[in-house]
Structure 1
């Protein structure tokens, strides 16, 4: 009788990494990760009927990119300047338009109201949907849109077999900490 060869730790890790990369590649090969999630195409408040769309950052129209950079600077420049990272507009633009970046965009009547910048990635050995940004215009905050967008991201993560959503929040951004804490 022949003994079955046991895989070494290195072989097991290589096999796991290959499976993870296949999941990331499959998620990134999608045209629109939101497409089959019908309940996340529209969000209705008392004042707005908001459409959600999902596109690759590299496919975003110039007016969309311009608005994204503008809202990032309006909402986050001070936080970055107060951190050890500092604010570097060119570096932020490069991050926001990186090859693997996706946008979840909320708009109403051709007006941009919010966006999330995210990627399907590997973080600390896990396949994740990494939420780099969630930014809303001030007039739409505290109306449930941020929660709705995070639910859409969670559903996209689940649909694509990502283990979790990962994000980073500045310690000084108390409202964001409270928001994400309430989401669990």
Structure 2
């Protein structure tokens, strides 16, 4: 994938998408990604979230204004990983979306779909079997976005897919996936 890429919805949303490896993400962007994800600290410690965002395997797609490089709109952080399956002898090759975060002003304009589409292209290029992510059940907007707009389904290892309904209720998240 050649970068930067351009995403243009209209005159209001003229964006450039930059690709970064965790080791090349400028300190100002490290800070910004951390601040944008702060709302989920109820389940993560600050140090745990920082470690996840700066993991050596982390890759970023960062959306910014084409005219003003300091006007950041959102990012998608992913890793290429091996993920468990219901077959104990098999690990799936996966492009795992750890974060998709957009500033409020950039939501509902197709940018999230575009970034996820890029992740599917990356996964396909690297011969990953599927794109996966974890979503909290109480985040109805995210669940609707991933399942209705993007076409994700419960992964075979998701609590809602592999446990009885009574046991699955104890989990506050689901794992979604879609083939590349």
Q: 1:54 aligns with which of 10, 14, 19?
A: 19
| Larger relative helix fraction | 1
**Alignment-derived partner of residue 102 in structure 1:** 59
- Number of equivalent positions: 140
Which structure is larger by alpha-carbon Rg, 1 or 2? 1
Q: Root-mean-square deviation (CA), in Å?
A: 1.3
Q: Structure 1: any 5+ residue segments left out of the alignment?
A: 1-33
**Is 1:43 equivalent to 2:3 in the alignment?**
no
**Alignment-derived partner of residue 83 in structure 2:** 123
Deviation of 1:172 (Å): 0.8
Partners of 1:141 and 1:91 in 2: how far apart?
A: 27
Partners of 1:172 and 1:89 in 2: how far apart?
A: 21
> Which runs of structure 2 are paired with 1:29-178 in the superposition (5 Å)?
34-35=1-2, 41-46=5-10, 47-74=12-39, 76-77=40-41, 81=42, 86-108=43-65, 109-110=68-69, 111-124=71-84, 125-178=91-144
Partners of 2:105 and 2:9 in 1: how far apart?
A: 12
Partners of 1:173 and 1:48 in 2: how far apart?
A: 26
What TM-score do the two structures reach when normalised by structure 1?
A: 0.73
The structure, 1 or 2, with the larger RCO (C-alpha pairs under 8 Å, 6+ apart) is 1
Partners of 2:25 and 2:44 in 1: how far apart?
A: 23
User: Stretches of 4+ moved more than 6 A in 1?
Assistant: none
Deviation of 1:53 (Å): 1.2
| Larger relative strand fraction | 2
